[in-house]
RNA sequence: GGCGGUGUAGCUCAGUUGGUUAGAGCAGCGGAAUCAUAAUCCGCGUGUCCGGGGUUCGAGUCCCUGCACCGCCA
């Protein structure tokens, strides 16, 4: 049995994600996971929350809660939303888990033993009032270049000049506003990525068929300027994985934690470890090529902003450890989804967020639109009018109405049972051939993770059913030749079951309802379309389902467009 | 400023290593049908493929340049 390991970029714990985040990794990853399972693979689909770092600490402080408590609550919120969107993770972990602490410290120890970690001293801004070092962007002040009084320590948003915190005039803490700042010396660990450049370069070159977006970003970072830079992997924070060398203390690093950048991707492995601890499964056979993972195909999903970490940083950790860890086989990256002429923005609350989306419509509506418009080759635009017309047309009119017209016609002429007798003749044969070809193309696109093309092919199969019905015209044929009409309706009823199965990765809820109404027991992926379209035999009882997809009205669309136009309240 | 991306029908987007009359869905127009969620099906596109040069027998597809928009700069 083929084995597929799938990971989605892990969302940051700080707040609810918007639809742009969802379509940028979790949703396409889920589509692929569901598809691979349907095709019979053994699948391990992993995601988690990324919990460490300053933003989490600040969000917790703002909420008036201990950071651990805040993260636990937000994890549950994100978990519930993931469930709401039917994201079929085998495990949704937490980067703050004990498993990740242990693994992160393990990797640091191995990298140090390999001579790939170096201690370096640096000078950073320390806020006495806040009792902590301040990351560059948490130091605010007046820009020495343009005089903007809210410039950040890393860059002035007004004139875009790159800054160093010490450049700022009248610097203050962005956290407390305190001006009681001083520059202190601190030591940090650096991962010597530069020494791994050639290995990483060769590793990238060894990958075949990766998207250009993926390799071009990796190559740029490898060769741009002075090449791949060494990277600090520790911070002076409380919330995080304590710096240790494996299970041993790390002298001089007391009170420091690993930077999120370092521990977040390791959580992919740790989350699988969490899964194993919870279920009694074996996580190492997914991650250690010396313990069974050599026949695993590992596919990652992420937005383009995450590509450098997954093509360089994380592989540097894995390769540098000198241990036989599984590295990614195929990396699928995405562009951005824009919102009505601008960007989705978490900080500005612009766009539709996951909780709001589920409040107004079932998950399948969002899944279908987002996946069929996923920004694979370029940024894509979300507009309410497009969303309304596309969803109404594809789901309500083409698929949903097909189910309605077939089941209701059958009920009125033959009752709620698959009618017997007759033959569909050449038209039936032609339909089977068309669907066989369509299914083959659909599978090819899904195998290649060409999601938009797959969606278009799936839709074409739905259309083919309507075309068949229109041409066969059982409502007319019935008047003179009820036997033939019976065969036509029998074929159409079986089509509903067929659609339910092949559509399930995109719209799992509607798929389940279709199967339930047809009382279809088995729902194995069709290998022979002709046979699949005879699965429901004459005499098989079914039920006319409720409307599968209610249409989005103009009033609703206008209401939502207004409601989500501004800042989230 | 540096780097990168994008600019194709009213809208959202496809267009493989350059090769016959540049495509899809939606919207729009016309028709058929009436089983169905006023749902379906058929037919209809002369688009300066952002502008300007160039390479080539041949460029949306490669090179240079200009413009516009966007992103990134650890």
CATH number where A408 lies: 1.10.730.10
Q: Are residues A453 and A522 in the same domain?
A: yes
Residues A496 and A408 in one domain: yes
Asked if residue A338 and residue A235 are part of one domain, the reply reads no
CA→C1' distance for A504 and B64 (Å): 50
What is d(CA A429, CA A239) in angstroms, rounded to the nearest whole number? 64
Residue A346 pLDDT: 74
* Residue A261 pLDDT level (bands cut at 50, 70, 90): confident
> Model confidence at A518, in pLDDT bands (50, 70, 90)?
very high
**Protein CA A469 to sugar C1' B41 (Å):** 9
Residue with the larger pLDDT of the pair A513 and A226: A513
Does the pLDDT at position A328 exceed 50?
A: yes
- Is residue A369 in a domain? no
CA atom of A145 to C1′ atom of B1, Å: 14
Indicate which CATH number applies to the domain containing A84.
3.40.50.620
One domain for residues A222 and A265: no
Nearest nucleotide by C1' position to the A547 CA atom? B37
pLDDT at residue A402 above 80? Answer: yes
Residue A148 falls inside a structural domain: yes
Query: What's the whole-number mean pLDDT along residues A395-402?
Result: 96
Q: Do A527 and A456 fall within a single domain?
A: yes
Does residue A527 sit in the same domain as residue A385? yes
Does A533 have pLDDT greater than 90? Answer: yes
Q: Which nucleotide is nearest to A217 (CA to C1')?
A: B4
Name A348's Cβ contacts closer than 8 Å, sequence gap at least 6. Answer: A567
The two structure tokens encoding residue A481: 């030749």
Instruction: For residue A562, tell me if it sits in a domain.
Output: no
Nucleotide nearest to A478 (CA to C1'): B35
Q: Which nucleotide is nearest to A549 (CA to C1')?
A: B37
| Residue finishing a domain among A249, A275, A310 | A249
A499 domain-assigned? yes
Distance A378 CA to B65 C1' (A): 25
For residues A443 and A462, state if they share a domain. Answer: yes
> Does A222 lie in the same domain as A135?
yes
Q: What is the value of ipTM here, to two decimals?
A: 0.88
Could you tell me the distance in Å between the CA of residue A466 and the C1' of nucleotide B41?
Answer: 8
Residue A251 phi, psi dihedral angles, 5° rounding: -55, 135
Where a domain ends, among A182, A214, A249? A249
**Residue A566 forms part of a structural domain:** no
What predicted TM-score, i.e. pTM, was given to this entire model? 0.93
| Whether residue A425 sits in one domain with residue A316 | no
Q: Smallest Cα–C1' distance to nucleotide B33: which residue has it?
A: A470
CATH number of the domain within which A121 lies: 2.170.220.10
Q: Which residue is nearest to nucleotide B5 (CA to C1')?
A: A378
* Residue closest to sugar C1' of B37 by CA: A401
What's the CA A454/C1' B49 distance, rounded, in angstroms? 25
Q: Is residue A313 part of a domain?
A: yes
> Residue A558 gets which letter from DSSP?
H
Percent share of chain A, pLDDT over 70: 95
Residue A444 included in any domain: yes
Q: Residue A550 CA to nucleotide B69 C1', Å?
A: 37
Nearest nucleotide by C1' position to the A402 CA atom: B36
Task: Give how far Cα A83 sits from Cα of A10, A89, A361, Å.
Answer: 15, 9, 15
Does any domain span residue A317? yes
Cα separations (Å) of A402 from A307, A416, A508? 41, 16, 18
By C1' distance from the Cα of A400, the closest nucleotide is B37
Asked if A8 and A47 touch (Cβ cutoff 8 Å), the reply is yes
When divided into structural domains, chain A yields a total of 3
For strand B, give the nucleotides within 7 A of a protein CB: 1, 3-7, 11-15, 24-27, 32-37, 39-42, 70-74
Which residues constitute the domain of residue A290? 3-104+259-361
Distance CA A87, CA A83 (A): 6
Q: Whose CA is closest to A10, among A60, A44, A51?
A: A51
Angstrom distance, A377 CA to B14 C1': 10
For residues A110 and A322, is the Cβ–Cβ distance under 8 A? yes
Q: What is the pLDDT of residues A16-40, one digit of tens each?
A: 888 888 988 899 999 999 999 999 9
Q: Please check whether residues A502 and A389 belong to one and the same domain.
A: yes
pLDDT category at A429 given cuts 50, 70, 90 is very high
Residue A449 CA, nucleotide B8 C1', distance (Å): 24
Q: Name the nucleotide with the smallest C1'–CA separation from A193.
A: B74
Query: Are A427 and A356 within one domain?
Result: no
Residue A569's pLDDT band, with cuts at 50, 70 and 90, is very low
Residues A244 and A170 in one domain: yes
Instruction: Calculate mean pLDDT across residues A266-283.
Output: 97
DSSP A401-469: HHHHHHHHHHHHHT-SB-------HHHHHHHHHHHHHHHHHHHHHHHTT-HHHHHHHHHHHHHHHHHHH
């Amino acid at each position: 049995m083929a084995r597929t390991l799938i990971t989605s970029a892990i969302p940051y714990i700080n707040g609810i994600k918007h639809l742009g985040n969802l379509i940028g990794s979790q949703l396409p990853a889920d589509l692929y996971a569901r598809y691979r399972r349907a095709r019979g693979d053994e699948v391990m689909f992993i995601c988690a929350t990324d919990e460490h770092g300053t933003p989490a600490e600040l969000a917790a402080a703002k909420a008036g809660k201990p950071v651990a408590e805040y993260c636990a609550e937000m994890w549950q919120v994100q978990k519930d939303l993931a469930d709401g969107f039917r994201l079929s993770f085998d495990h949704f972990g937490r980067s703050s888990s004990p498993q990740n602490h242990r693994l992160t410290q393990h990797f640091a120890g191995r990298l140090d033993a390999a001579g790939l970690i170096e201690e370096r001293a640096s000078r950073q801004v320390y806020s006495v009032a806040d009792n902590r070092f301040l990351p560059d962007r948490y130091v605010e002040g007046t820009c020495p270049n343009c005089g903007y009084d809210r410039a950040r320590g890393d860059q002035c948003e007004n004139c875009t000049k790159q800054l160093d915190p010490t450049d700022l005039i009248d610097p203050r803490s962005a956290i407390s506003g305190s001006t009681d700042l001083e520059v202190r010396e601190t030591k940090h660990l650096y991962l010597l990525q530069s020494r791994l450049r050639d290995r990483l370069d060769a590793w990238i070159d060894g990958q075949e068929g990766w998207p250009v977006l993926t390799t071009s970003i990796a190559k740029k970072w490898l060769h741009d300027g002075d090449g791949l830079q060494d990277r600090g992997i520790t911070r002076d924070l409380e919330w995080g994985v304590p710096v240790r060398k494996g299970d041993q203390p790390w002298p001089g690093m007391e009170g420091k934690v690993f930077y999120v950048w370092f521990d977040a991707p390791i959580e992919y492995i740790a989350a699988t470890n969490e899964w194993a601890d919870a279920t009694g499964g074996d996580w190492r056979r997914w991650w250690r090529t010396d313990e069974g993972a050599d026949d695993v195909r590992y596919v990652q999903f992420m937005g383009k902003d995450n590509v450098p970490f997954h093509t360089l940083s994380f592989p540097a950790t894995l390769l540098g450890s000198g241990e036989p860890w599984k590295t990614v086989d195929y990396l699928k990256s995405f562009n951005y989804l824009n919102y009505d002429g601008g960007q989705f923005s978490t900080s500005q609350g612009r766009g539709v967020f996951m909780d709001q989306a589920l409040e107004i419509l079932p998950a399948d509506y969002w899944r279908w639109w987002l996946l069929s418009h996923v920004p694979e080759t370029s940024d894509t635009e979300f507009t309410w009018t497009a969303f309304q017309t596309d969803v109404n047309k594809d789901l309500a009119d083409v698929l949903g109405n097909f189910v309605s017209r077939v089941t209701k016609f059958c009920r009125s002429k033959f009752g709620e049972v698959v009618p017997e007798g007759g033959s569909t003749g050449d038209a039936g044969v032609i339909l089977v051939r068309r669907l066989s070809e369509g299914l083959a193309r659909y599978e090819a696109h899904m195998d290649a993770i060409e999601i938009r093309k797959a969606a278009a092919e799936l839709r074409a199969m739905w259309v083919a059913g309507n075309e068949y019905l229109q041409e066969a015209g059982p409502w007319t044929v019935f008047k003179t030749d009820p036997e033939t009409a019976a065969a036509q309706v029998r074929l159409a009823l079986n089509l509903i079951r067929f659609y339910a199965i092949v559509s399930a990765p995109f719209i799992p809820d509607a798929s389940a309802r279709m199967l339930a109404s047809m009382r279809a027991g088995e729902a194995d992926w069709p290998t022979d379309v002709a046979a699949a379209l005879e699965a429901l035999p004459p005499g098989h009882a079914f039920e006319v389902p409720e409307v599968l997809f209610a249409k989005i009205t103009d009033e609703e669309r206008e209401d939502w467009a207004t409601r989500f136009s501004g800042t989230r309240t």
